[in-house]
Structure 1
């Protein structure tokens, strides 16, 4: 099923997303004197959406050939420009993405505790946007069983590829690899199905909180991140709470299980924040 060309994200919303990202990344710049990140995650998402909707023709953008082309281009650039082509992702600091970022963001490349800006990874960000649009427009036609099989298939295929070809298909969030996109999309679809199945059995207050997250997901995420950032400077001496929690979990769990638990905790924090807003009657409307 192809996407309908008329279903596009307004430019105004994408520009506001870029503005939110710039405002958020400006906070540590002013507080700690860090270098400003001109193309953080939110920036790239907004810019990618603008380019997709205004540069690429709707007929091509909404066909399966578009994500296939972007994925192929990502692989070619990632392997061809890597320092070691037989292990193009073995050392993150020696990847092709590092080379591109070094040209455009001197002094802001990969470090042990800092993900790269990821210009090359923006190609796969566009694929993620495409897949999300595809699922949004086609999910009403799917049964719950079909949604489960789709999510499990994506998650399983990404994990299997990473095991079969770890040198060329690792699951890496900083590099935004195709296998990471497959696995994360699959996990997201499974979480969507879990919420859908659980809604009839949840208390009304929790359902209302989930509705707030669904309608204002970006706003609740942004305000939640601001809260964590404030706590970080107040109580954690500049360290991220996620870094502290990850270090603690690594003592008891594998990295994969730790990441899963942290993701679940973050999702729960968003619902809790939305629950508070709903209980207080607060209206969140930034976009």
Structure 2
């Protein structure tokens, strides 16, 4: 493992620790503000976590795809391999959704879960973005990748701004960026069906924060990671210049926010600019730390988590469902533990955070065991 890839693993480790932590509070009713997503428009530290995974995936593609293309020999085989990985990620996401049972008398697993399967989500989006990015990178090189990313953002903005759509009453809309009212929501609602979407009760259209149309700008996020990976890790170009580009992207994103809001759920072009700029700076900070203090030692928690991030995510997803399904004294294990913590501490937000920290630590233990025994789950 080279030092620079080690820094990337550490960055990925930070992202997966953060994701598990924010996804598993003691209660959703008491959370410190930085650990919440923006209510709609805007950006919080939590909103950087998922694009962080996609950005890191892009950097990883920049490093590993040339080697894989050389090993596999032709573009079709590369794309077939990428499609296989994407399918595995999609199936893992579906598996997590279906891993649920309720003790309620009227619960029917087939009707309530299987027939209402959420098609999209975190892992399916990672899979779709991965295969689409590999396809673009296999066809384009150098500056053309940057042009492709900007073209995807421009095309998404144009579709969201200019394509008209109507609700059930026939009222016509265009250029909306509202909760449940956008062209992206309209497509999700009609292509997938409300029962298969995260915000199934949104009005006038149900939609998914990992929806069909917003996958396009998510590919642009991944391409930004590819570009940074090629520029910084492969060409070993100036970090100062890259820092300036990242800062300009942040300024441009916020400057354009008066016309196109920064919004994670819609993955707006301004959200891509701001988040990609910030994530580039975070990567530069990891590299600066490594250059100044040396690479992280074997067994560092960030490396442990970063080298088995999918296993960490899947384990946390399974355990989160178990502690919500298993009952103790008439309430779930999670609710019971939060109640004990809150009664002892007397500060709901802190008790909720402590539950999340304990949960994350419990998930980390088997991942540490895997690392110690050189067990790495690769897809």
What TM-score, normalized by structure 1, do the two folds share?
A: 0.70
Q: Is the 8 A contact 1:210 1:274 kept in 2?
A: no
Q: CA offsets, 1:119-147, max 9 Å, x none?
A: 11011111112111111222222444344
Unaligned runs of 5+ in 1: 238-247, 250-261
User: Could you give the per-residue CA deviations for residues 50-92 of structure 1, whole angstroms, max 9, x where no partner exists?
Assistant: 244458861379533322222122112111235543x511x22
Counterpart residue number, 1:259 = none
- Is there any run of 5+ residues in structure 2 with no aligned partner, and where? 1-61, 70-77, 102-108, 165-171, 326-331, 336-347
Query: Partners of 2:286 and 2:263 in 1: how far apart?
Result: 26
Count of residue pairs the alignment pairs up: 254
Task: Name the structure 2 match of 1:25.
Answer: 97
Distance 1:135 1:227, change over 3 A: farther
C-alpha contact (below 8 Å) 2:184/2:214 kept by paired residues: yes
Distance between the aligned counterparts of 1:57 and 1:201, measured in 2?
Answer: 34
Report SS of the residue matched to 1:120.
Answer: coil
**Which structure has more RCO (C-alpha within 8 Å, separation ≥ 6)?**
2
Please give the residue correspondences for 1:97-108 in structure 2 after superposition, counting only pairs within 5 Å: 97-108=184-195
Change (3 A) 1:201 1:67: closer
* Aligned counterpart, 2:182: 95
Change (3 A) 1:107 1:6: same
CA offset digits 1:29-69 (Å, max 9, x no partner): 85993421112232133134324445886137953332222
Show the 5 A alignment for 1:33-44.
Answer: 33-34=112-113, 35-44=116-125
Say whether residues 1:154 and 2:249 are aligned partners: yes
Query: Judging changes above 3 Å, is the alpha-carbon distance between structure 1 residues 32 and 190 closer, same or farther for their aligned structure 2 residues?
Result: farther
Is 1:198 the equivalent of 2:296? no
Q: Which has the larger radius of gyration?
A: 2
Question: Structure 1 residue 131 and structure 2 residue 212: aligned?
Answer: no
- Of the structure 1 ranges 4-13 and 150-159, higher mean CA displacement relative to structure 2 is found in 4-13
The two structures have a TM-score, normalised by structure 2, of 0.55
Trace 1:47-86 onto structure 2 (pairs within 5 A). 47-54=128-135, 58-59=139-140, 63-81=145-163, 83-85=172-174
Aligned to 1:212: 304
Deviations 1:88-112 (A, max 9, x none): 11x2212111110111122245445
SS of corresponding position for 1:94: coil
Match of 1:278 in 2: 368
